[in-house]
Amino acid sequence: MFGIPGNPPVTMTPAAEAQIVRLMARGAQGLRIGLKKGGCAGMEYTMEYASEVSPHDAVVEQNGARVMIAPMAQMFLFGTEIDYANGLLESGFKFKNPNVVDACGCGESIKFADR
């Protein structure tokens, strides 16, 4: 796992924690966060219910909320704050990721610096 010892790779706002706890109440062990190629900027976040923790997942637990970060996404998500916004037109998780260098106009896809 990438990171600084003693610091979680991602953090969650209280709104994100509350929503993840609600989703976990449906029987999931947590939410697995990852990345996939796609969108106009090149990459998209993925989120799915996780029925179990995979051996190579980075696990972050805050106040009963649990997220698992897929191995291939760990280096791209380090330092990210996960939030949840509930609005009239749309509701959903928002990622404040310091590693993102560009995003498409709709906000659905992101780009990281070339490594």
- Which pair of tokens denotes residue 74? 């760990």
**Amino acid (one-letter) located at 79:** G
Overall residue count recorded for the chain in this entry? 115
pTM, full prediction: 0.84
The rounded distance, in Å, linking the Cα atoms of 103 and 84 is: 19
What's the number of domains the chain is made of?
1
On whether residue 1 sits in a domain, the answer given is no
Residue-by-residue pLDDT tens, the chain, 115 positions? 455 666 788 999 999 999 999 999 999 999 999 999 877 777 888 999 999 999 999 999 999 999 999 988 998 899 999 999 998 888 999 999 888 877 776 667 777 776 5
Domain coverage including residue 27: 10-110
On whether residue 14 sits in a domain, the answer given is yes
On whether residue 4 sits in a domain, the answer given is no
On whether residue 78 sits in a domain, the answer given is yes
What strands, in cross-sheet order, belong to the sheet with 80-86? 10-12, 80-86, 91-96
| CATH number, domain with residue 79 | 2.60.300.12
On whether residue 3 sits in a domain, the answer given is no
Asked if 31 and 106 touch (Cβ cutoff 8 Å), the reply is: no
